[in-house]
């Protein structure tokens, strides 16, 4: 649990034995344990190199794996890593409060890059103003699993404004205080510092194309995309067999055919899109619905666009680009998507 951007990590039990029976902590008890963590962290100065420790989990998997092995050479680090890697989840308690959805999306995804433990199934991020979000490590599960869990939490929220009902604070069990994790980072400064820095007009715009023709073309485009999606789901995507052959040749040590050295094959996709799932539970309602999900672009000069359809009249988009890339702009892409949606709405309403 990285806390308050000071490099403080704590482990906190959410179960305790009571008269020989393992029981969950009550909301009041969890609140008290979190209070102890916050007060302990606030009383400390910045923990030096530990302040940037989590940034190494954001690096290329091979790089992080090698650095993890270096960390494990210290018995103290091995113990702390074991606690983090076997924990139910990681919680990041931030000090900055996002003022709008765009800032919240940016802060949830990366913060300042030093207090998100990316090599964890889920890191829940909580801000001082009560806003919250989470980052999810995607390799071991599909996004629908986390989406269902997050929707359940939002649909069953009971306590507003961070206040636990007084009647639940009437008595306390004797609980072990949260344990602060210790690190031995001598000789690790270089690795931490490296990790820390680390067209022609379309038919839609042409005045010589009638609205009826545009509607027809739109329907054909939608049908084509649907057919392609179904083909991909069934293993008949245009490039899946080629990727299989490419990986098989690499694994077996065969020379790669010239095709795999062509510009077309090496060209990276600059646009990654994904639909964010919703409405898993019967308790779902618009008032408690999440604002959406997102992910970072896979290409240095690319866009990532996640979209979530909420009912018949609302679609939320999450758009992400690399901060230092001058060729891409999230705001400009957002404006273009909004204009395209507006154009299609007007076109279909006037058909």
Is 156 part of the annotated catalytic residue set? no
Distances (CA, A) of 85 to 3, 34, 90, 204, 257: 17, 20, 9, 51, 41
Longest dimension (CA), the chain: 81
Q: What are phi and psi of 109, to 5 degrees?
A: -65, -40
User: In sequence order, what DSSP letters do the residues of 101-140 get, joined into one string?
Assistant: HHHHHHHHHHTTSSS---SSSEEEEE-TTS-EEEEE--TT
Q: Which long-range contacts (CB under 8 A, 24 or more apart) does 181-184 make?
A: 181/9, 181/10, 181/11, 181/79, 181/80, 181/83, 181/84, 182/76, 182/79, 182/80, 183/9, 183/49, 183/50, 183/53, 183/76, 183/77, 183/80, 184/74, 184/76, 184/77
In the set 138, 156, 198, 241, the catalytic residue is 138
Measured between alpha carbons, how far is 307 from 315 in angstroms, rounded to an integer? 7
Cα 313 from chain centroid?
A: 26
CA-based nearest residue to 273, from 306, 295, 229, 244: 306
SS3 9: strand
CA-based nearest residue to 53, from 30, 37, 76: 76
- Residues marked active site are found at 138
């Amino acid at each position: 649990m990285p806390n308050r951007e000071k490099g403080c990590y704590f482990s906190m039990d959410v179960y305790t034995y009571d008269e020989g029976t393992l029981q969950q902590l009550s909301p009041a008890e969890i609140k008290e344990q979190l209070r102890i963590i916050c007060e302990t962290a606030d009383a400390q100065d910045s923990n030096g190199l530990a302040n940037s420790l989590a940034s190494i989990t954001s690096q290329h998997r091979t790089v992080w794996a090698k650095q993890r092995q270096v960390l494990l050479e210290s018995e103290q680090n091995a113990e702390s890593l074991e606690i983090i890697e076997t924990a139910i989840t990681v919680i990041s308690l931030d000090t900055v409060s996002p003022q709008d959805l765009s800032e919240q999306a940016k802060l949830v995804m990366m913060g300042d890059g030093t207090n998100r433990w990316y090599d964890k199934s889920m890191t829940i991020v909580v801000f001082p103003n009560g806003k919250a979000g989470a980052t999810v490590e995607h390799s071991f599960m599909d996004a629908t699993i986390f989406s269902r869990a997050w929707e359940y939490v939002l649909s069953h929220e009971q306590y507003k404004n961070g206040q636990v009902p007084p009647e639940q604070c009437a008595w306390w069990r004797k609980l072990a205080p949260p344990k602060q994790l210790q690190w031995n980072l001598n000789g690790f400064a270089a690795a931490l510092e490296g990790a820390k820095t680390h067209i022609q007009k379309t038919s839609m715009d042409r005045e010589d194309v009638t609205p009826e023709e545009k509607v027809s073309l739109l329907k054909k485009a939608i049908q084509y995309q649907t057919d392609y999606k179904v083909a991909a789901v069934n293993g008949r995507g245009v490039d899946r067999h080629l990727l299989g052959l490419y990986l098989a040749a690499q694994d077996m040590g065969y020379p790669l055919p010239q095709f795999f050295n062509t510009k077309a094959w090496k060209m990276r996709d600059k646009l990654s899109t994904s639909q964010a799932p919703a409405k898993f539970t019967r308790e779902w309602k618009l008032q408690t619905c999440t604002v959406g999900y997102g992910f970072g672009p896979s290409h240095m000069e690319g866009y990532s666009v996640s979209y979530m359809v909420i009912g018949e009249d609302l679609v939320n988009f999450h758009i992400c680009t690399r901060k230092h890339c001058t060729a891409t702009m999230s705001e400009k892409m957002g404006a273009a998507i909004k204009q395209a949606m507006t154009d299609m709405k007007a076109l279909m309403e006037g058909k």
